[in-house]
Structure 1
Amino acid sequence: MKLCANITLLYPELPFIERFAAAAADGFKAVEIQFPYDTPLAVIQHELQQHNLRCVLINVPAGDLMQGGEGLAAVPERQAEFRAALEQCVEYARGLQVDCVNVLPGRCNDNSRRAQYLATLQSNLRLAAAALAPLGITTTFEAINTFDMPGFLIHSGQQMLDVLAELQQPAVKAQFDLYHMARMGEPLVEFIRANIGSIGHIQFADTPGRGEPGTGELDFAAVFAAITESGYSGWVGAEYRPSGPTSSTLGWMQRVPAA
């Protein structure tokens, strides 16, 4: 497995700009960043080059999603805002030479509009793929559990597959987050084995507390084995909330064959 560090969640004990060096020192060859836009592109590029790292994934800006709002990607009235967010993202994605850009579907607070929101999400995913595929970048979108984000539009593996079936876009894949899907009671090993061709990026944390492997209930030996045996060639992102200084929570890495 090719492991990368999500430096938005990992190394919270350090200022953001110091997390690149820390990740490299701990043996990571790549990082992912949820929303890099508060840091100038040139600064991130310098840190990556300085520490021989790659940035493999960023998210499209998601508006008010992290503050409890519906976000941008599925809200019909916010399509202009999504286009502007995508334009900003493309600049960073091109400059960082990422493998994937993730679109967060967001919430739907009025279930009677769910079909309309899904149609808007599909339209915006097509828009993202049209902008990113020529750069060799895969567009992903993810399901998020409804305990952490009530009302999240996409919250199961099947819903991701349904969107992909509707889109029929080879440049759009599912981002499969083990933590979120385990929280929703999804059969992780079975889903990975059956649908690995539809998965463009994988992330993980233990459940239910979103800590490092070994702090909860997830059978990482079984899930990591399923990923390895599936032939998946993408990156697997450590996106957890460390229970202590991040470097002291990385014992699980010794049990994972990392590329």
Structure 2
Amino acid sequence: MYRFAANLSMLFTEDPFLDRFKAAQDAGFEGVEFLFPYEFSKQDLKARLDSTGLEQVLFNLPAGNWEKGERGIAALPGRESEFQLSVELALDYAEHLNCRKLHVMAGICPEGEALEACFEVYLANLAYACEQAQSANVTVLIEPLNTRAFPGYLLSHQAQARKIIDHIAMPNIKLQMDLYHAQIMEGDLSVLIRHQMDYVGHIQIAGVPDRHEPSDGEINYGWIFSELAKVKYDGWIGCEYTPKADTKSGLGWLETARNIFS
């Protein structure tokens, strides 16, 4: 019943990036996601998808200078032109890879900028991204991130994301609900799942608190998968975690989940 996508930025890192597609296929995944594709050619990525039969589920828009601590540019005043170019680039990759979902990272409000000004820019840029993506049949996703791992990130709570989605009021903006971030910031995951599924366009999972396998930590994912079944969630579940050891030896949870919830 559930379709699991391997996040190739975090899983199978024992292999070079382009070899991770085959590793994901061999492990039984049906789809893949990753943070950023832009250092690789569209042709090379498409060839890996075609040779493995994997579906490209999701990737992020360019997020600025990651090495210098930028975590998205959508909310950064003065970077609007750069953001528009990033939308164009991401949609070009999405078309080539037949990817129907793009995550727009908000970013961290720069020192000296008013939070209100950052939000205004964020909302305007999201509206622009949705308008451009709509004609390409692409859904724009926004994701609250926990402030322990991403201090200062503009979007950190589920209710905040819902308000933004309501404000944009376009059919192709949805919530990327990462249960790892949601548990750290809010908990009460069953209630979140039950009451906001109409907003959800993608789900991601990882163990809490250390972001290892879903079988590691305080979240009972058996219970979570049952809750998702009750609300008839039929989208992808992205596996965005850091394995405790090598990726393959930690995939027992996936076989168990498939046996129970297939």
- TM-score, normalising length: structure 2: 0.95
Matched residue, 2:120: 119
Aligned AA (2:106): P
1:86 to 1:112, Cα distance in 2 relative to 1, 3 A: closer
% of aligned pairs identical? Answer: 33
How much has 1:118 moved relative to structure 2? 1.4
SS in 2 for 1:139: strand
Tell me if 1:240 matches 2:238. Answer: no
The 5 Å alignment of 1:22-37 reads: 22-37=23-38
8 A Cα contact 1:65 1:106, kept in partner? no
What is the alpha-carbon distance in structure 2 between the residues aligned to residue 55 and residue 211 of structure 1?
23
How much has 1:69 moved relative to structure 2? 2.8
How much has 1:109 moved relative to structure 2? 4.0
What is the alpha-carbon distance in structure 2 between the residues aligned to residue 152 and residue 26 of structure 1?
34
What is the alpha-carbon distance in structure 2 between the residues aligned to residue 101 and residue 65 of structure 1?
18
Matched residue, 2:6: 5
8 A Cα contact 1:33 1:57, kept in partner? yes
Q: Encode CA deviations 1:17-57: one digit per residue, 9 max, x unaligned.
A: 11000000000011012100101000000000001111010
SS in 2 for 1:195: helix
1:131 to 1:66, Cα distance in 2 relative to 1, 3 A: farther
The 5 Å alignment of 1:71-82 reads: 71-82=72-83
1:225 to 1:132, Cα distance in 2 relative to 1, 3 A: same
Aligned AA (1:51): T
Matched residue, 1:163: 164
| Poorly superposed stretches of 4+, deviation over 3 Å | 109-112
8 A Cα contact 1:60 1:101, kept in partner? yes
What is the alpha-carbon distance in structure 2 between the residues aligned to residue 156 and residue 127 of structure 1?
23
SS in 2 for 1:36: coil
Matched residue, 1:172: 173
Aligned AA (1:241): T
After the TM superposition, which of the residue ranges 9-18 and 223-232 deviates more from structure 2? 223-232
Matched residue, 1:14: 15
Q: List alignment gaps of at least 5 residues for structure 1.
A: none
The 5 Å alignment of 1:1-259 reads: 1-65=2-66, 67-69=68-70, 71-110=72-111, 113-257=114-258
How much has 1:70 moved relative to structure 2? 5.5
After the TM superposition, which of the residue ranges 225-234 and 50-59 deviates more from structure 2? 225-234
1:55 to 1:207, Cα distance in 2 relative to 1, 3 A: same
After the TM superposition, which of the residue ranges 226-235 and 20-29 deviates more from structure 2? 226-235
1:186 to 1:173, Cα distance in 2 relative to 1, 3 A: same
SS in 1 for 2:203: strand
How much has 1:133 moved relative to structure 2? 1.5
8 A Cα contact 1:156 1:186, kept in partner? no
Aligned AA (2:25): A
Count of residues in correspondence between the two structures: 259
What is the alpha-carbon distance in structure 1 between the residues aligned to residue 4 and residue 72 of structure 2?
29
